[in-house]
Amino acid sequence: MRIAIASDHAGYRYKEAIKGHLAKLGHEVVDFGTDSELSADYPAFIRPAAFAVSAGECDRVIVLGGSGNGEAMCANRVPGVRCALCWSETSARLARQHNDANGLSIGQRLVSLEMALLIVGIWLDTSFEGGRHARRIEAIDAVE
């Protein structure tokens, strides 16, 4: 799978760790920045990463920040992106099963690195259930 990844300064450490984790799992990772822990405005990095999914250049996107809230909001402004802010195994599983989330947002200040890696794994491995959830996704996408 080809995965776009981006963060601001507050998510940089986890971005780097997740990149390595994804590569070990055999995924191709496209890093949209940032490249350090120096203060940076997340839309400059998150928006291009989300557009890579919207344009079909990447299959999914992972965005990281301090809380992950702003990053999820920014990614969700891009047509075709459904980015879920996840903080637990259950939130990651349901984001895929019920919402067909092709975007994942994690807050570095809110979860441990171990939990972040677990969230990423569950989000990657969980399939969309379809069924009653499909019409809800269609309704979300119809707004675009």
Nearest to 71 by CA among 100, 40, 29, 92: 40
Rounded CA separation 120/15 (Å): 11
Instruction: Verify whether residue 27 is a known catalytic residue.
Output: no
Instruction: Verify whether residue 114 is a known catalytic residue.
Output: no
Using an 8 Å Cβ cutoff, are 71 and 7 in contact? yes
- Given 21, 98, 129, 133, which residue is catalytic? 98
- Given 71, 89, 114, 144, which residue is catalytic? 71
Residues 6 or more apart whose CB falls under 8 angstroms from that of 47 comprise 74, 75, 77, 78
Question: Which residues have a catalytic role annotated?
Answer: 71, 98
